[in-house]
Structure 1
Amino acid sequence: MTFRERAIISQLMNMSRKSSPTSRNPGKESRHREMLLPLPLAKVRAMSLEHHLTLAALYNGRGNIDQINVLLKVVYLAYFMAAMAHEPVGPRLVPGRGSRR
């Protein structure tokens, strides 16, 4: 897990904490501002490729513990993003495709 991914997850988990509007440490304030910016497109594409290749390797039965760790990161990230969006997390049934039994 990269530093930026850990920072995003940490920020999502600590959103309920209130921070003072004026910071005594200007370097810390700039890091917070940077964490709010969108990820660069190259990083997003690299992460997307890594996630897709991981799923393909696991699907074909060629995965190992490294791929399982990447998949776990994806699941946690999706969970935290859904929690921040106040969306329910869990399986959903798509209308028109039948039900699972």
Structure 2
Amino acid sequence: MDDLKHKALVAFRMSVRNYKPWIAPNWNSVEARDSFWQIVQGAENNGFLTSEKACEQFGITPDQYAYWKERGCHPDRNMRKKVWSFLKKELGL
């Protein structure tokens, strides 16, 4: 199980490293929203982000955060960059 956790963490680190929050071709596309929320979900699953930390990073309330996650809302570029920078720092990238 530890090996599986390690592989998941390595894959998550690669996803964060390769994510480009400032590039937004079809920025409001389902794929763009999904890639952002997959990174957020991966951060939660790997213990790097809690809903409290996410609300702090996004500057929103817990209710707004839950709504955004459920709907897959696509935050603006500055917010994506802020969350991405936070995760890179947490992961030591």
**Normalising by structure 1, what TM-score?**
0.32
Higher helix share: 2
**Normalising by structure 2, what TM-score?**
0.33
